Structure 1
Amino acid sequence: MAGRHRRLSMRHALAVVAGALLGVGALYVPDRVENLAGPATPLAFLLAAAGGLALSVGYAVFLSGPLGDSGGGGYLHLSRTWRSRALGFLAIWPKPAAYAALVALLAEYLAGFVPLPAPDGVVALALLGGLLVVHLVGPVAVGRLGLVLSAGFTLFLVVLVAAGLTAVVLGNFFPLLPTPTLRERPVLSVGRATLVALFGFVGFEAIAALAGEVRSPRTTLPRALVSGVAAAGLLATAMAFVTLGVIPWPRLVFAQAPFVDAAASGLGVATALLLPPGIVAGTLAALVTLSWPATRALAGLGEVIPPLAHTNRFGAPDLACVVVFGLAAGLVAADAAFVALYLAVPGLLALYVAHGLTTAALPVVNPELYAASEFRPPPRLLALTGLTGAGLAGLLLWQSLTLDPAVVLGYTRVGPTVAGPAADPLVVDPLRSVVPALVGWETVGVLVYVAARDYREEVGVELEPLTRF
């Protein structure tokens, strides 16, 4: 899609991982986890990091092979492994809409947070319009902007961790299991906390969007993905350790932004001095990062819907960008982002389940594609990793199908943006929100797939054989 425009590097890929897995929610670590694990909360974050790595291994395998040269991402991974375009299309179909909804949510949140002499809706639309222009200018412009924002925000967090470590009191971790529930069911308690912390890894696969833009993608992207997920997980664990080490567990309930409160204590400054710039930086970093998978996932469907594959002279998938940002802008203008947010997290988790199962089956179902991958764990280890990732994603998906969308989104790194009036339309039973959204959107996907097939036949577009790999 953009082979001649490959000008991004490892640092740009790492910036995408950082922006997706840290974002504004990192400032509030370990919000919602400490109630389940108590002083053992850092352990839950460390275990969640291991789970994030299990999820990422499958993507690393595919990105290290011939499919890593193209930005098709999960669509190519599934369609080529199972030799079914319909399966790949329907599995990936919720992804562009999910990320477009998250982009709209972040734009609305930032517009409401920053006091400007204009209505929030106008500011949000201006943000989306500006980001669209950056995308149309080309991948290099988006990559550089994302690098500055993600690197700056990550450095901000690292400095806060270092400052907070100076104020840690190890006695805050004793007793490690202070309540009867924690002592009687430590594994169950920490396990539940780990699942909540694992929601922070939703969006890890955003890096696959750079497959068509980065130099030496088969080596760069797998390394950036695995190292980035590990680093983000360890940083989140360190933030949880600092928070519990500075603020005694029983008093965390009174913290405005737990991690920032703890770091401010170490620096000897007020939380209000650190939180606003952190929120702006984290939100902007996440906004730019999450626009990558939104646009590239849709462009990746250009094999099925040929017009979506069109790129301008800068290497940007212009039609896909216009559609994604048009959808996000429409949600903002209609004040209806919550409808698409019903789909956001469950749609991505369903994709992770499918991708994990595909990873496990790859050596058996498509040994040629497996053999062509440079990163190639032994088949049994790959099967174990893929099934583990699929199982973890399945547990998270079950949570998203039984809890209201506001709670589920609150577990993710966009959690702080789902508060106040923004949360009201999301407090809905999943049977009346998430399930109809998933079923309805997949039904639309079936209709689009059939219409696209008829369109290709009409204009004479022939697709390459799926037996190539």
Structure 2
Amino acid sequence: MTERLDTPEHAPAPEQTIGVVQGTALYVCAILGAGVLVLPGQAASLAGPASLLAWGFSLLAGLPLAFTFAALASRHPDAGGVATYAARAFGPAAGGIAGWWYFIAGSVGQTIVPLTAGYYLCAAAGLDQRLAPLFAAGVLAAAVAANLAGLRIGARLQIALAAAVAVILAAVIVIALPQLDPAAFRPFAPAGPAGIGRATIVLFFAFAGWEAIAHLSGEFRDVRRTLPLATACTAAIVGILYLGVALAVVGTGTYGTPELDRIALGRIVENGLGLSAVVIMGVAAAIICLGTTNAFVASVSRLGFALGRDGWAPHWLGRRSARGVPVAAVLTVGGIGGAGLLGSALFGWGTDDLVFVPSVLVLVTYLLGAAAAWRLFSGRSRWVAGLAVALLLIPAPFAAAHLLVPAAIAAILLGWRVARGRRTG
């Protein structure tokens, strides 16, 4: 991208503080969050037990994608992430479009993730799910505050949060094992291939973290060594936990309505341990969602900074504080997430209503990013990127009319750039 505004006085370089452990923790919390709490139920409602195929495909597609983004971030460390890669491969316009696709997806996600915590906390307190936005606002505010305090504090906290996430989800899987019923897997694919395809599209939201951490690549120590190692560790952890939790939801039949899908893991724990476990699961959900929100506010705000720095967003987004924190971008991401929570409170928007928008935006962002890698790389890395592109194209037709969203964003952005050029020309 062009029109760089990151002069030393306006945008001091961030400290390189993230190692393998912190990087893995950030990745785990970025990927395991609202996705693992609500999407197993929603995917099962769309595809029945065959949703397990959608999970398997998503994990399979995620492997070449994860290592492609790790390679891109290692070779081109920059806060712009996929926007930087697309610009290098296809020109500034492609970079700006890719950046905005992911910025909007990530910002809307800061409505979905905290709202998920709100659902579980409402269940723990015996309250109506319509009060979930109130609890969600507290989760979002805490994550924004942690990021304003600086990444060093957030990263240390992330290690503890990631460990808590892994322990909590492993406990849910163990609790579910005695409840599994072979009859729950029949009929296996009640909605046919179309249901599996729709479920796969929804699940892209569960894997948005592969791109998210790329925006923090400039803050890794020895990025060419630490980032690929963190990616490999995360892929193993995420694969085991996602498949285990999806199997638990399907095998216990804990899905079928939006209200149940939103708190499926809580119901599994409740059935296995008793009513007192609902409170424990509510607290656990809040911890998981806080970790995810913290990681995404950090990464998406860096992307917002890069868009402002490179002339694809208002220039004030492209500035950092004396401590290297993009304060305006952090507040912007938090503000978009807060606006979504306000809409949820006023109009009853649920995670099941909102998730298709960021999911489709993540899909097209990943496609463009992997295509950029295919053009920029050579040898084995290029073939890995090509495999990622091929796998991502398979579910794309099932996005149907939702593909109009990224098309509209691209059209609006290009129109704004033309109008801006005329005013300044």
When normalised by structure 2's length, the TM-score is 0.76
Structure 2 residue aligned with 1:279: 285
Q: State how far apart, in whole Å, the 2-side matches of 1:38 and 1:332 are.
A: 29
Alignment of 1:367-446 (within 5 A): 370=378, 377=380, 379=382, 381-392=383-394, 395-396=395-396, 398-402=397-401, 435=404, 437-446=405-414
Summarize deviations over 1:433-461 as a string: whole Å, max 9, x none: x73x5454334422443466689x89xxx
Structure 1 residue aligned with 2:7: none
Q: Which of residues 107, 121, 130 in structure 2 aligns to 1:100?
A: 107
Structure 2 residue aligned with 1:157: 169
Alignment of 1:19-58 (within 5 A): 19-28=29-38, 30-34=40-44, 42=52, 44-58=54-68
When normalised by structure 1's length, the TM-score is 0.70
| Contact preservation (8 Å) 1:10, 1:221 | yes
Q: State how far apart, in whole Å, the 2-side matches of 1:337 and 1:181 are.
A: 30
RMSD over equivalenced CA pairs, Å: 4.0
Q: State how far apart, in whole Å, the 2-side matches of 1:218 and 1:240 are.
A: 33
Shift in CA distance, 300/225, structure 1 to aligned 2, threshold 3 Å:
farther
Shift in CA distance, 451/252, structure 1 to aligned 2, threshold 3 Å:
closer
Structure 2 residue aligned with 1:367: none
Structure 2 residue aligned with 1:80: 88
Gaps of 5+ in 2: 1-10
Gaps of 5+ in 1: 364-369, 371-375, 403-429, 459-469
Quote the offset at 1:331 in angstroms: 4.7
Alignment of 1:64-463 (within 5 A): 64-65=74-75, 67-68=76-77, 70-82=78-90, 84-107=91-114, 110=117, 113=121, 128-165=140-177, 167=178, 172-173=181-182, 178-179=186-187, 197=203, 199-243=205-249, 247=252, 257-263=263-269, 271-305=277-311, 307-332=316-341, 343-363=357-377, 370=378, 377=380, 379=382, 381-392=383-394, 395-396=395-396, 398-402=397-401, 435=404, 437-450=405-418
The structure with the largest alpha-carbon Rg is: 1
Summarize deviations over 1:382-436 as a string: whole Å, max 9, x none: 35323224314xx24x43444xxxxxxxxxxxxxxxxxxxxxxxxxxx5xxx73x
Q: Report how many residues are paired.
A: 397
Letter in 1 for 2:80: G
Q: State how far apart, in whole Å, the 2-side matches of 1:287 and 1:212 are.
A: 20
| Contact preservation (8 Å) 2:58, 2:203 | yes
Q: State how far apart, in whole Å, the 1-side matches of 2:133 and 2:179 are.
A: 42
Shift in CA distance, 74/262, structure 1 to aligned 2, threshold 3 Å:
same
| Contact preservation (8 Å) 1:139, 1:213 | no
Identity of aligned residues (%): 21
| Contact preservation (8 Å) 1:17, 1:207 | yes
| Contact preservation (8 Å) 1:74, 1:88 | yes
| Contact preservation (8 Å) 2:140, 2:293 | no
Quote the offset at 1:271 in angstroms: 4.9
Letter in 2 for 1:58: T
Quote the offset at 1:80 in angstroms: 1.0
| Contact preservation (8 Å) 1:27, 1:259 | yes
Q: State how far apart, in whole Å, the 2-side matches of 1:180 and 1:215 are.
A: 47
